[in-house]
Amino acid sequence: MHSDSKRMLTEFITQLNIEKRASPHTLLNYQRDIIQLEQYCSKQNIILWIDVTQTDIRSHIANRHRTGLSSKTIQRELSAIRSFFNFLLKTNIVENNPAQHIKAPKQARKLPKSLDVDQINGLLDALTTSSLEIRDLAMFELFYSAGIRLTELSSLNLNDVDLADKTILIRSGKGNKSRILPIGNKAINAITLWLKHRANHLVPTESALFTSNRGTRLGQRSIELRLNIWCKKKGINEKIHPHMLRHSFASHLLESSQDLRAVQELLGHSNISTTQIYTHLDFQHLANIYDKSHPRAKKIVLPLSLSKQ
């Protein structure tokens, strides 16, 4: 490109450094990203930044995507390009920002792994040998029984659990939304047993349902570590984290009920599309439901006289 165009890039990086106080890492990435665009423009015989069009930006981004770059990296490159052209707009070098309305390809959401029913039984039917393991089992049973988040379990207070009604109250769910959830008999029994030992691990003013051996609320990191210790001690080689129990809850419940709305409510999702992505059904199971339910999928039974012709 023209030497003036290269000078504009240098001035842009200088502005980021002095006025925006961008980190060295950001400066290096932004400079590299704009140079990638500059190289594309040179191949297209585009000499000045004012000649770059929205089509050029879209084509450049498509080329970058074809090289195998992740959506996250392309989003960063687009952010750098938008910032650069905003700089050019302010300095009256260009008349518009051609990257303003260009979007990066969406990143495919990776589903967390779930455990099958036998794996869950192997995890939760193990024997306990101490009061802390009794507490741990109660936590893991509650994860799977109610499908709650790690933050929600850590935040539970003693008065949030109604053993008689077999429910728990989530006061501070995602988006500060509360919800009441049913819990099963296995979780009820495990919590009841833990409450008998809880008094031995308690600071008098502590309201937390699950407490450490010092009597204070058990933190999220500690819960994750206890699950790792539990799995190693029980001979489970696969790395299991709390979110896998939540995902297993959702998967198993949806596979059995096919009630997406109910699972959405239990998980505390504000948008059902999140539940559709978060959970998965066996395709053959769906196909069987389709074959049985859809009017145009049912087999036509021919009259006996016609079927013999």
Which one of the listed residues 30, 40, 144, 278 is annotated catalytic? 278
Is the distance from CB of 97 to CB of 49 less than 8 angstroms? no
Report how far residue 98's alpha carbon sits from residue 82's, in angstroms, rounded to the nearest whole number: 8
Q: Is there a catalytic annotation at residue 243? A: yes
Which one of the listed residues 198, 201, 226, 246 is annotated catalytic? 246
What does the radius of gyration of the chain's CA atoms come to, in whole angstroms?
29
Q: Is there a catalytic annotation at residue 149? A: yes
The CA-atom distances, in angstroms, between 228 and each of 51, 115, 141, 146, 280 are: 57, 15, 15, 20, 25
Which one of the listed residues 166, 171, 174, 186 is annotated catalytic? 174
Which one of the listed residues 64, 135, 149, 217 is annotated catalytic? 149
Q: Is there a catalytic annotation at residue 246? A: yes
Which one of the listed residues 135, 201, 247, 269 is annotated catalytic? 269
Which one of the listed residues 58, 76, 243, 280 is annotated catalytic? 243
Which is nearest to 31 in space by CA: 72, 39, 63?
39
Q: Is there a catalytic annotation at residue 21? A: no
Dihedral pair phi/psi, residue 2, rounded to 5°: -60, 150
Catalytic residues, by residue number, are: 149, 174, 243, 246, 269, 278
